[in-house]
Structure 1
Amino acid sequence: MGYILVEDRKALEKVLAKAASSPYLSIDIESNGLYAYRESLCVVQISAQSVDAVIDSLKVDVSPLKPMLEDPSIEKLFHSGEWDIKMLKTTFHTDVRNIFDVMIASKYLGFKRCGLDALVKEHFNVDLNKKYQKADWGRRPITQEMLDYAIKDVKYLYRLRKIFAKELAKKGRLEEIKDEFEKLERLSPLNPQYDPDAFFASRQSRGLDPRGLAVLKELFAERDRRARELDRPAFKVVGDDFLGSLARDPEQAMKDMTVFKGATEYVLSHHGHWLEDAVSRGLAAPEYKPPKRERRERPEAGCNFEGSKKRAAALKLWRNAAAEARGMLPESILNNDMLERIAQTDPQTLEAISKVKGLSKRKIDSYGAEILAELEKHRQSCEPQSPSK
């Protein structure tokens, strides 16, 4: 298939020397996140103008790749690169400059199926093997079939980039899409530390009273400690839904845990003792107070919650129609969170809309006038009609 397997420093230096003169570097990575408590960067696949390589990053230090990641003259190509970029930043303590993400580009061009396999099939009539998408890339040796799978994830990125960039330029969207790529550059590294309040964002926390939340907090924290000891992902120790069930009825959990759905013999024999201890601690702990959320923009004077909801609904209808007319996916224009921010502030001028947090100048240049017109139309439709004489 014409690629190099890199398993030592000397081979890596040769590959990077060849790649250094390339104007682009296609990148994908594989990890063991489904199989270990703290995932590791296990394999790095790269494709450049004159070399393709699969790097075994458990055998060789890949930090010499860092200068290329930081070099703004080399375009880094990804498909759905958000997690990859966070992982690279975490591993190398590096920046990743000059990014082009072909998945984002496909959404800006209106493709309904944006997975790499679908895009490669549509443009090159090639079927990608996705058999190893959830494989344990931390196991060694890596099979030949897995290596062949890995290199194909970068093999087609540059060709897709050429096609998509040409179409984006034709449609006048190359400048607008830079917003998305610059957001990827600003991504923070992954935080390896356990967040004791992270449970509050889980589905299982919904509807729990402060006592139930205190119990759920203890259950999540203790499960994390056990997962760390076992070197397994937390969800593979005990599932979130089972923890949520215990937190919804902690008194019953203390009496008889066997009545809960998911209380298998294995779960109770291996984990029942610490589950009971965690529930007990949660019942004795102070009631849980949720962390303060970041405050959104203040609504304009006279705004109310119902009015904001109606404006957001109107903006979503406008956004969806605009996306269809332009041949884009709706989230490529503005996501729902941003539409809700705009609806809350209810701007009436371009200056006012420019103060909406997170709304870039490029988006304002592209859609600001349409947004203001839609909001004005909504205001007029909500005005009480004068009684006819």
Structure 2
Amino acid sequence: MTDAAEGPTLPDAKPAEPVRVVDDPEGYADAVRRIAAGTGPIAVDAERASGFRYSQRAYLIQLFRRGSGTVLLDPIAFDDLSELADAMRDAEWVLHAASQDLPCLREVGLEPERIFDTELGARLLGFERVGLGAVVERLLGLHLAKEHSAADWSTRPLPTPWLVYAALDVELLLDVRDAEEELLAAAGKAEIAEQEFEAVRTKEARPAPAEPWRRLSGLHTVRGARNLAVARALWQARDAYAREIDSAPGRLVPDASLVAASKTPPASKRELAAMRSFSGRASRSEIDRWWSAVEAGLASADLPATRVPSEALPPPRAWADRNPEADRRLKAARPAVAAIAETMSLPAENLLPPEALRRTAWEPPESFDARSIGDALAAHGARPWQIVATAQAIGEAFVAAAQEVPDPAGSPS
């Protein structure tokens, strides 16, 4: 199937019914009744205020079910959505890029028992563009405007054009799902898709880092434990204030400003205020807060380590020096995996998680037979279908790499 024409030449998608937000008990009771009375899968979407608010909570939840119509729900207006959760429990949920929305839906008590992810389905079908707008154009021949995707959804009241955008995100999703299901079955990928959807649904959240301040962008340029202590104190002060006023931390003072003040700590509050590199909406209005953090960092007796242990593998470019055998295994296996991905019309990263391949190459099993390689891949998160598709080829690539003889300069001959 070829891509449809560019969006402006296609008819615009329009909502099936007038849009309004459910934000009162009567509207909520009616929404629950309608969702329960509908049939088949439920299209689900959520809008957050990423980049505007500290939290990643849902500020709008959109639902569409055949026989139910569209529901645009303001979750901020309700303390308990358990009745809605009960009405949705037995249905398949259809989401686009489910991993983005499931955390904030779970936060309000909405948990699916099975899902269909239309973005992931598009990847498995080999679509080059997998955004919802592009998929709708390709499969439904409609132009879906996406200009409000980065809006501040904590705004109240929500503008009508935003609500139209939000409604269309779910009203077209079931038709997309049905078209993808047919294509996946025709391509022999229905079982693959089921495994991938379930992996997304059941994926555990990453544990919070022990020292989240080390995620400061540019922190690697800060030298010395004392300066790192200043960076830590500034990050902690900004995080506490951002949480208090529910604002995205970077909107108050950007990472670059915290790093600049840490690399060369100012000697006084006046000097901090005079730093041109220390900017942001709250950089001057909260100058006492930031200066107290600088002082705390400079006076801290609990200096952070300049280097921290990590379970992360070194970047592949360093493997030739640090683990030449692993380097040869990885370089032999990557083309083999890429060839299988091309044959199956899949992106290589969807055929096999790159981290699973890297870790198996870095520390392989004693035997390179398909079973042993498969067990190693499974231990690093590969799904059964991925193991069936790749284990044999990876094992053969590892055997070939082991037979290579490095030349005196360190490169395989």
Deviation string for 1:262-283 (max 9, x for gaps)? 3349655323332222122223
Q: Percent identity?
A: 22
Partner of 1:81: 98
Q: Does residue 369 of structure 2 align to residue 349 of structure 1?
A: yes
CA–CA distance in structure 2, aligned partners of residues 70 and 241 of structure 1: 45
Q: Number of aligned residue pairs: give it.
A: 374
Q: Does residue 43 of structure 2 align to residue 26 of structure 1?
A: yes
Matching residue's letter, 1:186: T
CA–CA distance in structure 2, aligned partners of residues 98 and 265 of structure 1: 43
Written as runs of structure 1 = structure 2, the 5 A alignment for 1:141-290 is 141-188=157-204, 197-211=211-225, 212-250=227-265, 256-257=271-272, 260-264=275-279, 268-285=283-300, 286-289=302-305
Post-superposition offset of 1:136: 2.2
Does structure 1 retain, via aligned residues, the 8 Å contact 2:140–2:176? no
Does structure 2 retain, via aligned residues, the 8 Å contact 1:31–1:138? yes
CA–CA distance in structure 2, aligned partners of residues 261 and 249 of structure 1: 13
Does structure 1 retain, via aligned residues, the 8 Å contact 2:273–2:287? no
Distance of aligned partners of 1:190 and 1:16 in 2 relative to their CA distance in 1, 3 Å threshold: farther
Select which of 51, 65, 68 maps to 2:84.
65
CA–CA distance in structure 1, aligned partners of residues 95 and 383 of structure 2: 23
Partner of 1:328: 346
For structure 1, the residue ranges without an aligned partner over 5 or more in a row are 297-302
Matching residue's letter, 1:379: A
Post-superposition offset of 1:196: 6.5
Please provide the CA RMSD for this pair. 2.9
Post-superposition offset of 1:370: 1.6
SS in 2 for 1:381: coil
Post-superposition offset of 1:86: 0.5
Deviation string for 1:338-377 (max 9, x for gaps)? 1111111224123322133322323212221122122222
CA–CA distance in structure 1, aligned partners of residues 390 and 117 of structure 2: 22
Written as runs of structure 1 = structure 2, the 5 A alignment for 1:70-109 is 70-71=89-90, 74-92=91-109, 94-109=110-125
Matching residue's letter, 1:371: I
Q: Is the deviation greater in 272-281 or in 245-254?
A: 245-254
CA–CA distance in structure 2, aligned partners of residues 170 and 265 of structure 1: 53
CA–CA distance in structure 1, aligned partners of residues 257 and 324 of structure 2: 36
Q: Does residue 387 of structure 2 align to residue 364 of structure 1?
A: yes
Does structure 2 retain, via aligned residues, the 8 Å contact 1:210–1:288? no
Q: Find runs of 4+ consecutive structure 1 residues off by over 6 angstroms.
A: 252-255
Post-superposition offset of 1:253: 8.1
SS in 2 for 1:250: coil
Partner of 2:146: 130
CA–CA distance in structure 2, aligned partners of residues 214 and 103 of structure 1: 42
Q: Is the deviation greater in 140-149 or in 201-210?
A: 201-210
Deviation string for 1:195-217 (max 9, x for gaps)? 66112234322243451332221
CA–CA distance in structure 2, aligned partners of residues 266 and 151 of structure 1: 33
For structure 2, the residue ranges without an aligned partner over 5 or more in a row are 1-14, 314-320, 409-413
Q: TM-score, normalised by structure 1?
A: 0.85
Post-superposition offset of 1:105: 1.0
Does structure 1 retain, via aligned residues, the 8 Å contact 2:57–2:107? no
SS in 1 for 2:234: helix
CA–CA distance in structure 1, aligned partners of residues 205 and 106 of structure 2: 5
CA–CA distance in structure 1, aligned partners of residues 392 and 137 of structure 2: 38
Q: Does residue 60 of structure 2 align to residue 43 of structure 1?
A: yes
SS in 2 for 1:58: helix
Written as runs of structure 1 = structure 2, the 5 A alignment for 1:309-328 is 309-328=327-346
Post-superposition offset of 1:189: 6.4
SS in 2 for 1:77: strand
Does structure 2 retain, via aligned residues, the 8 Å contact 1:108–1:177? yes
Post-superposition offset of 1:109: 1.2
Q: TM-score, normalised by structure 2?
A: 0.81
SS in 1 for 2:129: coil
Q: Does residue 356 of structure 2 align to residue 338 of structure 1?
A: yes
Post-superposition offset of 1:167: 1.9
Matching residue's letter, 1:228: R
Post-superposition offset of 1:239: 0.2
Matching residue's letter, 1:81: A
CA–CA distance in structure 1, aligned partners of residues 119 and 406 of structure 2: 43
Partner of 1:121: 137
Matching residue's letter, 1:377: A
Matching residue's letter, 1:204: G
CA–CA distance in structure 1, aligned partners of residues 326 and 72 of structure 2: 51
Post-superposition offset of 1:16: 3.1
Matching residue's letter, 1:362: W
